[in-house]
Amino acid sequence: MLPVTALPLDELRARTSEKWREYPADVLPLFVAETDFPLAPAVKAALQRAIDIGDTGYIASRNPLAETFAAFAARRYGWAPEPARMRTTADVSMGIVEILRRVVQPGERVIVTPPVYPPFYDLVDEAGAEVVRVPLHDTGTAWELDLDGIRAAFEDGATAILLCNPHNPTGTVHDRDALTALAELADEFGAAVVSDEIHAPLAQPGTGFTPFLETGEAARRVGYAVVSASKAFNLAGLKCAIMVTADDRTSAIVRGLPVEVEWRTGQLGLLAAVAAFSEESEPWLDGLLRTLDENRVLLEDLLASRLPGARYRIPDAGYLAWIDLTALGWGDNPARRILKDAKVALHFGPAFGAEGAGHVRLNFGTSPEILTEAIDRIAALTDR
Ligand SMILES: Cc1ncc(COP(=O)(O)O)c(C=O)c1O
C-alpha cells in the first residue's frame, strides 16, 4: 500500500474552492476541512466517465450507494447496516438538520459537546431547537463524553444529542463503552442521538472506531447516523451524504422526510461516493491513512522542536489538529495574529465554543513541506 502524496503548492493554487480562494496567495491555507491530495483513481475515473457521457442529471432512485456503503461498513467496521434503512441527501449538515426537524419540537433543546465543529450550533438553530452545551471532559490526556453532564441535560429536558464521532476538532474516537452508555441514557429519556460520522473512514487503524448504531439495541432504537465519503475523499463540493437508521421507528422517520431531501443529492457526488466506498478504493484509503499518520506525528515533532509552548495531542482520526497556544500569550484567538503576521490561515479556536479560547485548529491534510513551512512561519513569530 503506497502512501498518498499531496499535490505541490503551484498545482493546488489552481483550485478554486474555499481553501484556495478565501485568502491571498501569500497565505498558506490550513483552515477549512478540504485536503490537498489528488482524487482517488476510482473516484476520478467515475467522475471523468460521467463528464464524458454527460451523465449529470438527477440521481436515480434505484442506485447502488446504500449497498456499496453497507459493504464498506462491513469490511471496515464489522458493521452491517441495512441498505433499506438508508436514504441519501446533499450533505451531512442537511441530513442533521432534516433529522432534527423531525425528532425535536420547536424550542426543545439539543445537546452539543464543545469544543465542536462550529456549524453544529447553527444546525440546531436551523432545526428550530436550542443548544445545550455539555463540554467534553478533558482528562489531561484525552477527551471524553461527559456522561454525567449529558444525563443532567436530559433530566433537565433536552430531547436530543448531536454526537460527533470521530470528534471535530479533537480527532477523538469515542470508545464503545461510552457510546453504549450514551445510547442507554438516551433510551432511558426517550431522546434521539444524531451521530455525525463524517470523519469515520479516517479513523486510524487500532483506534477502534465504533459506529454508534452498532453498539446495541438501545442505540438502534434512538440513533440516526449521518455518513459521507466527503471528508476522506475530498468530495464536499459534490454533495452526497447518507442517513442511516437501524429500526422500524427511526427508519420510518427518515423515510417520511420529503422526497426532495433525497433529490438534493448531487449526481456527481453519488457516483463519486459509490467509487469511494467500493473495494477498489480501499488501497488508496489505506495509503491516505498512512500519510495522515505520518503527518500527525510530523506535526508533533515540529511543534515540540519549533513551538514548544504549543500543546497538542495526536488525534485518533482525520486530518485536523486541535492545538492549545495559550502559553504563547497570543490571546483568546491566536489564529488572528497567525493569519496577519505569519500568513498561515488556521481555524479560529473560539468558534468551536468557549473551550476554544487560546486554541487553533490546523488541517494537516497536506504535504510535509507545506506543514513544515506553516509551523516555521508561526514559530518565527515567537522571535519577534
Ligand atoms: C464533523 C463535521 N460534520 C459535518 C461537516 C460538513 O459536512 P457536509 O459538507 O457534508 O455538510 C464537517 C466538515 O468539515 C465536519 O467536520
Report the alpha-carbon distance of residue 171 to residue 326 in Å, rounded.
20
Task: Calculate how far, in angstroms, residue 74's C-alpha sits from the geometric centre of ligand 1.
Answer: 23
* Arithmetic mean of pLDDT over the chain: 98
Residue 1: per-residue pLDDT: 78
Phi-psi region of 358 (alpha: psi -120 to 50; beta: other; left: phi over 0): left
Q: CB of 92 closer than 6 A to ligand 1?
A: yes
Residue 205: per-residue pLDDT: 96
Report the alpha-carbon distance of residue 231 to residue 273 in Å, rounded.
11
Cα torsion at 59, 20, 231, 311 (round to 10°)?
Answer: -160
Mutation pick for ligand 1 pocket among 196, 197, 212, 352 (CB with most ligand atoms within 8 Å): 196
Q: Which three cell numbers stand for residue 302?
A: 515540529
Phi-psi region of 213 (alpha: psi -120 to 50; beta: other; left: phi over 0): alpha
Residue 91: per-residue pLDDT: 98
CA 318 to chain centre: 8
Q: CB of 117 closer than 6 A to ligand 1?
A: yes
Of 149, 179, 152, the closest CA to residue 164 belongs to 179
Residue 383: per-residue pLDDT: 77
Using DSSP's 3-state secondary structure scheme, residue 132 falls into strand
Q: CB of 197 closer than 6 A to ligand 1?
A: no
Whether 209 contacts 243, CB under 8 Å: no
Residue 341: per-residue pLDDT: 98
Report the alpha-carbon distance of residue 163 to residue 25 in Å, rounded.
36
Output the tens digit of pLDDT for each of the chain's 384 residues: 799 999 999 999 999 999 999 999 999 999 999 999 999 999 999 999 999 999 999 999 999 999 999 999 999 999 999 999 999 999 999 999 999 999 999 999 999 999 999 999 999 999 999 999 999 999 999 999 999 999 999 999 999 999 999 999 999 999 999 999 999 999 999 999 999 999 999 999 999 999 999 999 999 999 999 999 999 999 999 999 999 999 999 999 999 999 999 999 999 999 999 999 999 999 999 999 999 999 999 999 999 999 999 999 999 999 999 999 999 999 999 999 999 999 999 999 999 999 999 999 999 999 999 999 999 999 999 976
Report the alpha-carbon distance of residue 349 to residue 360 in Å, rounded.
5
* Nearby residues of 95 by Cβ (< 8 Å), 6 or more positions away: 89, 226, 241, 242, 243
Residue 277: per-residue pLDDT: 99
DSSP codes of every residue in 14-32: T--SHHHHSS-TTSEE--S
Closest CA to ligand 1's atom 13? 33
Domains with residue ranges and CATH for the chain: 9-38+282-383 (3.90.1150.10), 44-279 (3.40.640.10)
Residues forming beta bridges with residue 88, ordered by sequence position: 242
* Nearby residues of 383 by Cβ (< 8 Å), 6 or more positions away: none
Q: CB of 170 closer than 6 A to ligand 1?
A: no
Atom of ligand 1 nearest to the CA of 116: 1
Task: Calculate how far, in angstroms, residue 226's C-alpha sits from the geometric centre of ligand 1.
Answer: 10
Q: Which three cell numbers stand for residue 283?
A: 488501497
Residue 73: per-residue pLDDT: 98
3-state SS string for 199-229: CHHHECCCCCCCCHHHCCHHHHHHEEEEECC
Atom of ligand 1 nearest to the CA of 228: 10
For CA atoms 225, 231, 234, 238, give the dihedral sign: positive
Task: Calculate how far, in angstroms, residue 383's C-alpha sits from the geometric centre of ligand 1.
Answer: 36
Residue 110: per-residue pLDDT: 98
Residue with cell 504549543: 310
Whether 229 contacts 276, CB under 8 Å: yes
